[in-house]
Homo-oligomer: A and B are copies of this chain.
Amino acid sequence: MSRRIVGPEIERLIQLLAKMPGLGPRSARRAALHLIKKKEQLFEPLSAAMADALDRVRVCSVCGNVDTADPCTICTDPCREAGVLIVVEEVADLWALERASAMNVRYHVLGGTLSPLDGVGPDDLNIKGLVGRVAEGGVSEVILAVNATVEGQATAHYIIDQMAGMDVKVTRLAHGVPVGGELDYLDEGTLAAALKSRTSF
């Protein structure tokens, strides 16, 4: 706003809200007003929940997931198969895979991908931890669920090299047509991969 029309505390709240993904300067103002209007129902509980989460959030020392416990809820879940690890780039990928509820296994979060141009080397990622978990034994399969990007694939190949000689099966996600997707809108690479990996009825 051109002229100062609210106190510095609200101004600062708007500025910080605007840095959240999905909110811009305009929607941050709307969000701040909404919070102020719903003081008891939303502003107070949200502020308390933020302070609470901020106080308790930590990175799991086993898998790199974020949680309020260390080891995290997933790593300590006795109902999960411990012999299979799904390797993901980010915690968001872990959450996405959990929403699919396809496998009841554990994870390993790398914290990014190898990217020499950005100065991200193997030591900047949680790869040593992965190798350590596999070396400890008890892991029969490592599923590399990295993104299908150049960096993701380079990271996958680096990990495969590190696993060489270890008694573990390394697999990757299938390429193919997204469920519900229309062929007309798919790129040639995906179509070629889907044809190559065709399955029989």
Contacts and interface: CB of A to CB of B under 8 A. Distances in A.
A36 B74 contact: no
Interface string A1-39: 111111111101100110111110001011111111101
B17 A46 contact: yes
A54 B16 CA distance: 14
A99 interface: yes
Contact of A16 (B37, B45, B91): B45
Interface string A64-95: 00111100111000000000000000011011
B68 A33 contact: no
How many copies the complex holds: the figure is 2
A149 interface: no
A49 B7 contact: no
A195 interface: no
A43 B19 CA distance: 10
Contacts of A39: 54, 57
Contacts of A36: 53, 57, 66, 91
Interface of A: 1-10, 12-13, 16-17, 19-23, 27, 29-37, 39, 42-47, 49-54, 56-57, 66-69, 72-74, 91-92, 94-95, 98-99, 101
Given A3-B101, A9-B52, 4 more contacts: A16-B49, A20-B31, A36-B66, A36-B91
Smallest CB-CB A-B distances: 8 pairs: A7-B68, A47-B50, A22-B27, A16-B46, A13-B53, A9-B53, A13-B49, A9-B68
9 contacts: A1-B98, A2-B101, A7-B67, A9-B49, A9-B57, A19-B46, A21-B27, A21-B30, A29-B95
